[in-house]
Structure 1
Amino acid sequence: MAPWIVASLYLIDLALKIVALGVVPKNRRPSSGMAWLLLILVVPLFGWVIFLVLGRTKLGRRRNEQQAEVNALVAERAAHVPTLERDFPGPAYVRSVATLSRNLGAQPVTPGNKIDLFPVYAESIAAMTAEVDKASAWVHVEFYITAWDNVTGPFYEALARAVDRGVKVRLLFDHLGSKGIPGYKEFTARLDASGIEWHPMLPIAPFKRRPDLRNHRKILVIDGMVAFTGSQNLIEPGYNKPANHKLGREWTELVARVEGPAVSALNLLFCTDWYSETEVKLTDELGTVPTPAGDIEGQVIPSGPGFSTENNLRAFTLLLYSAQRRLSITSPYFVPDESLLYAITTAAQRGVEVELFVSEAGDQFMVYHAQCSYYEALLRAGVRIYLYPAPAILHSKFFSVDDDVAVLGSSNMDMRSFVLNYEVSLMLLGPEVVAEMRKVEDNYRSISKELLLEDWLTRSRGAAYLDNVMRLTAALQ
């Protein structure tokens, strides 16, 4: 090779590295910036290509404007709602978290809610189907993954019956999340034939935005009076994948049925996402105000790339630091950033009883091994880790703090859920709802195996190496 070619390649390589040092760290957490820099310094050209495709988390000016418009509307309508600092008799930290989430996500805490938990997959779909059959005006459906299959068929048939009797049915699903499910073309054809109005969320647009920015929310609202939210996607529990069926692998979930003012907050998120995807404002549907149905105070916490403040991460971290006696966490994908890891380990080290429920076996190779890289630090800090037995996948996403707070929704405790995904979390206040959550936790504990530090340290060096490599990839946000 000619000397001038060698010199040119060297200068290009050097230039790519120097530019990266000044560009990559901008407005990025140090761990993420260092991971990107390491990739670019090791393989400059390839690293730059990946960074240009996946290194941006912005959705674009139009979507940001829409989110700001909705936040302003919510703040205006919620101005008359008393702040929790004056009204909630519980501990001060609850009031602090509620104020934080209201300032970031515009949603206030509302009293008068009734919550029913569904930890059984088939029962939650049956409950949703029954409510759709009662619909008289409109039904709003939003799920990350959905399919018309042998389990969800009754639900979609109920939606079609609703359309036939004059109910307006609107459906949103994540483009990438649902398109990868077998039978997608047949699914959309059946939707067209049913009269359901549907739109894919965040359709792939490589030159407009990062392709892996996804809408991960799970929301169902009927007539503005009843809503469902939680971890469960609208699909059969093996995700229509032959490999899962062969293994006997099914997903375990937790879904909440909601009545009361929190329904309006969940419906607002659907209407926001509908506006983003269609440019249509559902003004009439936003005017529906449910009556009080119970005595639980609740707050909807929206988060995602449309917010620059990582709403769920801030709220979760503050709640974990505030725990005084007991902290129970269930997360299928537990890949925390430094702040969340410190909050959990610090809680255990200061005497809080901390437990973490995760799956014994993972369904996502890279995420599972990145998650495993944290187990040693957690166990040494005193966190008790329970492995939900394979072949099931523990997909529920919730946690409880002392006897004061329960949080459930679509958000994992990983950087994807904190930065790259639109998520919805529902914070519920009071010992009654926490007691119901404890029943779910107790059931998980009764069938799970506790992971002990001495056993974990006997795993092979190859497995530990793989875990650490995957941990590095998790920081490429």
Structure 2
Amino acid sequence: MDLPHLLWNSVPPWAGAALFTVDLVIRLLALGTIPHNRRPSAAWGWLLVIFFFPILGGLVFLVLGRADLPEARKAKQREAAQRVDAHGPGAEAQEVRDMPDWLAETARLNQHNGAFPVAGGHRIEVLDDYDASLAAMAEAIRAAEHYVHFEFYIAVADPTTEPVVAALEEAHARGVTVRVLVDHLGSAGYPGYQDLVRRLGAAGIDWRRMLPVRPWRGEYQRPDLRNHRKILVVDGEVAFTGSQNVIDRSYNKAKNKRKGLQWIGMTVRLQGPAVGHLDALFATDWYCETDDMILDADADADAEASAGDPSARSPKASAPGHLACQVLPSGPGLAQESNQQLFNHLFASARERITVCSPYFVPDDSMYNTLRTAVGRGVAVHLYMGETSNHALTHHAQRSFYEMLIRDGIRIFLYQAPWVLHSKFVLIDDDAAVVGSSNMDIRSFVLDHEVNLLVSGRDFVGRLDELVDDYRQHSHELELADWLARPWYQKYLDNTARLTSALQ
């Protein structure tokens, strides 16, 4: 008798019956529970996994199947938002001029979904050079007089980020209040993270991990729910946000260095009322990790200062420019998929052109149909993505859409390797732009905390057009015939990865 038969015959009859029963119960429970309040595509994705691998799939679903925060965490977010509203952060909104009616409608949709009010009076500078962006942040921190609020998905101490880390240490040493938030799992896996937290601790800087996953301390939520925001606010007068993390452009990974991978990011430096709104968003995230509502402390300090030296009051963002801007936070516990609603509304409103730059573009049916409908209306749709990526599964899922998109008349430009295009922005006609941390995939729409800026202003759109022109010079347009000729095994990987794109 061969070994498999011998092993099978040694299994007690009751064990086989028990295994069959567990298998059947898992499948039946999955059918009745997974579709609840879930997209049909996501439900089918999870059911497919569980029906192929009932026990393993069921365990994975228990860990990753709930795209929501614990009730206690959501309650803290709601409380923080209410206290932010009570303080009304930022300068008085300047008059919004020359905003098209359709864009004002978009701003109303955003505010309904939890965005701050749109305001005029902004000056916004595009920083597309990686090292120069870090240098600008360091310069702003060195000029701080009152406080520095630093919140990044990935932040480490390495030779490239040394100017920023040193500036934080120096600011704290001269009496500036420095508060630092870094995403726990987002940062912890990168060389230089431990060096950063060691230096912050040694300097006495107040810092916290965002969304920590430490069950032994009672800190747990779905581990892939992350805070993907990038925010730096100095004195309530100047802020930075965008797609760039505070890490070397190789991300300090040996495999990236072997391949010569270098990240290309984009950050904006802004002044105006939205600085106060980004500061309020930082205050919300800080409260969720510390139970310390720093806006309360600022209000108390202002009240005390009003009886003495007015110059001692905490600064408020001025209005040095003319651009209209709106801050839109999104993520678990907030309005459902508010950033995706923003993008779909913009795509449906476009009359001439849509330009999307995103490292990860995995649209669901609603976004795909909105874009193909835009092409049918005569709108030119251009997508800029990287030829290579550091996330294999998402990259292959993204590639599975290329054929459909090209056949629909959407032009795809792939930034040539070994550069990894990581900039994230959308341009609509000559009127509007969205810049921020959000990708175009289910992770950014459902699982991650993101922040985006909706900006109205032709000169700002024109500046980003210049950046797009530069990207095009380093990209090649994907042709359908060339794409269809790729090897069969790549097609297989792409199609298989696509099955995971809807999971949430």
Q: TM-score, normalised by structure 1?
A: 0.96
- Largest Rg, 1 or 2: 2
Q: Distance in 2 between matches of 1:339 and 1:295?
A: 34
Q: Which amino acid aligns with 1:70?
A: A
Does residue 30 (structure 1) correspond to residue 18 (structure 2)? The answer is no
Corresponding residue for 2:485?
A: 458
Q: CA RMSD for the aligned pairs?
A: 2.0
Verify the 8 A CA contact 1:404 1:434 in the aligned structure 2: yes
Corresponding residue for 2:113?
A: 104
Corresponding residue for 1:164?
A: 173
Verify the 8 A CA contact 2:90 2:276 in the aligned structure 1: no
Of the three residues 329, 332, 344, the one matched with 1:317 is 344
Q: Distance in 2 between matches of 1:93 and 1:387?
A: 31
Shift of 1:191: 1.5
Corresponding residue for 1:248?
A: 260
Residue 17 of structure 1 aligns to a residue in which SS? helix
Does residue 377 (structure 1) correspond to residue 404 (structure 2)? The answer is yes
Q: Distance in 1 between matches of 2:18 and 2:454?
A: 57
Mapping for residues 324-403 of structure 1, pairs under 5 Å: 324-403=351-430
Shift of 1:88: 4.9
Mapping for residues 438-453 of structure 1, pairs under 5 Å: 438-453=465-480
Shift of 1:13: 1.7
Q: Distance in 2 between matches of 1:119 and 1:297?
A: 21
Corresponding residue for 2:222?
A: 210
Q: Distance in 2 between matches of 1:155 and 1:52?
A: 40
Verify the 8 A CA contact 2:358 2:384 in the aligned structure 1: yes
Shift of 1:308: 4.0
Of the three residues 270, 276, 290, the one matched with 1:278 is 290
Residue 235 of structure 1 aligns to a residue in which SS? coil
Shift of 1:10: 2.4
Q: Distance in 2 between matches of 1:83 and 1:300?
A: 13
Of the three residues 65, 68, 73, the one matched with 1:63 is 73
Corresponding residue for 2:145?
A: 136
Shift of 1:462: 1.7
Corresponding residue for 2:196?
A: 187
**Which is further off, 194-203 or 242-251?**
242-251
Q: Which runs of 5+ in 1 are unaligned?
A: none
Shift of 1:77: 5.3
Of the three residues 140, 155, 164, the one matched with 1:155 is 164
Q: Distance in 1 between matches of 2:122 and 2:317?
A: 10
Q: Which amino acid aligns with 1:372?
A: R
Q: Which amino acid aligns with 1:119?
A: D
In the superposition, relative to structure 1, how do residues 254 and 81 fare at CA in structure 2: closer, same or farther (>3 Å)?
Answer: closer
Q: Please list the CA deviations of residues 73-129 of structure 1 after superposition, one character each: whole Å capped at 9, or x if unmatched.
A: 444555999999x95543322111100111111410011110000111011111111
Mapping for residues 300-311 of structure 1, pairs under 5 Å: 300-311=327-338
Q: Distance in 1 between matches of 2:164 and 2:19?
A: 60
Q: Please list the CA deviations of residues 241-268 of structure 1 after superposition, one character each: whole Å capped at 9, or x if unmatched.
A: 2222232211001100000101001111
Q: Which amino acid aligns with 1:350?
A: R
In the superposition, relative to structure 1, how do residues 205 and 34 fare at CA in structure 2: closer, same or farther (>3 Å)?
Answer: farther
Corresponding residue for 2:60?
A: 50
Q: Please list the CA deviations of residues 183-220 of structure 1 after superposition, one character each: whole Å capped at 9, or x if unmatched.
A: 33332211112222111111114583111110000000
Verify the 8 A CA contact 1:56 1:209 in the aligned structure 2: no
Corresponding residue for 1:421?
A: 448
Q: TM-score, normalised by structure 2?
A: 0.91
Verify the 8 A CA contact 2:91 2:272 in the aligned structure 1: no
Corresponding residue for 2:123?
A: 114
Corresponding residue for 2:244?
A: 232
Q: Which amino acid aligns with 1:353?
A: A
Q: Distance in 1 between matches of 2:47 and 2:421?
A: 34
Verify the 8 A CA contact 1:329 1:356 in the aligned structure 2: yes
Q: Which runs of 5+ in 2 are unaligned?
A: 1-10, 300-313
Residue 426 of structure 2 aligns to a residue in which SS? strand
Q: Distance in 2 between matches of 1:181 and 1:348?
A: 41
Residue 125 of structure 1 aligns to a residue in which SS? helix
**Which is further off, 179-188 or 214-223?**
179-188
Q: Distance in 2 between matches of 1:186 and 1:129?
A: 18
Verify the 8 A CA contact 1:264 1:288 in the aligned structure 2: no
Verify the 8 A CA contact 1:328 1:356 in the aligned structure 2: yes
Verify the 8 A CA contact 1:83 1:99 in the aligned structure 2: no
Corresponding residue for 1:173?
A: 182
